[in-house]
Amino acid sequence: MAVVAAAAGWLLRLRAAGAEGHWRRLPGAGLARGFLHPAATVEDAAQRRQVAHFTFQPDPEPREYGQTQKMNLFQSVTSALDNSLAKDPTAVIFGEDVAFGGVFRCTVGLRDKYGKDRVFNTPLCEQGIVGFGIGIAVTGATAIAEIQFADYIFPAFDQIVNEAAKYRYRSGDLFNCGSLTIRSPWGCVGHGALYHSQSPEAFFAHCPGIKIKVISLS
């Protein structure tokens, strides 16, 4: 209690001081100021410029050419998931109704091909789905979680923003969730009812530690 009272007193004095000149007269103010406002360096400025330009710019011309196959958007998603499971033996797909193929038919045939241990349904609990994916990813495996509609993602907001996005930072780079992918379709069926029409990606686009990917038709 004495420590809490002392800290509270320090904060109250800091707030009461107000003006810039009073910083130097407060006990420990130099340390606090150095922590909150570290001296900028040339490297820091370069990093800020690099981070500011975060939009992914693909190469104008592909560097590799191979056999192509004409497919629609959903078929291309299925193909990508199929390739991930085939190339990575640790990869698993789980979520809402993925076992029978998903409501958008993007996981059709994958359970039969790779088995029920690698493609499976979960309870209808978005927070649990993402939390489960974080646990898998932290072990080094590849987790592909699916939330049936993007509108359903909000119950998992805390897990995504406060857990997955910050895991590497909070662990001092000992662990990370870089192998976690959360599929969350939106805009697939035109105008839908409540919980089927929102585009919530902007809520996550401004959170450090999260990368937003949107499929292009071009």
Catalytic residues: 126, 196
Nearest to 140 by CA among 94, 174, 163: 174
Beta bridge partners of 182: 145
Q: How many CB atoms lie within 10 A of CB 179?
A: 18
Q: Which residues, including other chains, have CB under 8 Å from residue 214's CB and lie 6 or more apart?
A: 201
CA geometry: angle at 143 spanning 140 and 146, to 5°? 165
Structure tokens at 161: 């923003």
Q: What is the DSSP letter of 90?
A: T
Structure tokens at 104: 């958008």
CA distance 142 to 147: 16
Start-to-end CA distance of the chain, whole Å, equals: 62
